[in-house]
Chains A and B, each alone.
Chain A
Amino acid sequence: QQQVKQSPQSLIVQKGGISIINCAYENTAFDYFPWYQQFPGKGPALLIAIRPDVSEKKEGRFTISFNKSAKQFSLHIMDSQPGDSATYFCAAPRRSSASKIIFGSGTRLSIRP
């Protein structure tokens, strides 16, 4: 099974700081790279996503940076807030008719007031 490797496993950031979570993938059959946010006791929800023909996508305080040659993409949360405390998953869907979406192992983010 294709791998999507995510780091760090956990992250503590002061309020107002920048949170950075990284993902690396192995297979070039992925053609869309989403990030999901999951709060305790809830299901994951799509936060932001990027296509590989774009190097960066920004939505409010959230930015995805994509490095196709390095097969890496990262999530940046600017001006991190306590409400951002959650678990974040990177993911990659495969470009095939019987595909599935592979998730990274998750990063537990805690924003300290």
Chain B
Amino acid sequence: NAGVMQNPRHLVRRRGQEARLRCSPMKGHSHVYWYRQLPEEGLKFMVYLQKENIIDESGMPKERFSAEFPKEGPSILRIQQVVRGDSAAYFCASSPSTSGLQSGELFFGEGSRLTVL
């Protein structure tokens, strides 16, 4: 499967625990985006990363949330001390170089659904 791979697909955490969501972009894609989707709502941009660099994190909460895209391995979205309001579907998307930004085409994974009890 050469698509965007996200794991886990479903994650349950208790309040105060940490959640780690992983995303492997499509082969050849060096740009990764994370979006959050609340139930019955649209996709909210969180962060845009290239390998080893955070390009735009303007949509990510300043506290408890962090993202990385290391030279080797998947991109990781980390949520510390989760609260019930963090329950959502988190989607990762990738694009090759800057073409995705200009053409509007992002390739999405199937999402990671976080439930905070």
Contact = CB atoms under 8 A, between A and B. Distances in A.
Interface size class of A (residues with CB under 8 A): 20 to 34
B98 interface: yes
Contact of A106 (B4, B41, B110): B41
Contacts, number: 73
B45 A102 contact: yes
A102 B33 CA distance: 12
A43 B109 contact: yes
A94 B48 CA distance: 13
Contacts of A66: none
A43 B48 contact: no
Interface stretch (A29-37, A55-63, A78-86): A29-37
Given A95-B102, A97-B98, A100-B56, A43 B108 contact: yes
A104 B42 contact: yes
10 contacts: A31-B102, A33-B104, A43-B91, A43-B110, A44-B108, A98-B55, A100-B56, A100-B58, A101-B33, A101-B45
Interface of A: 1, 6, 31-34, 41-46, 49, 89, 91-95, 97-106
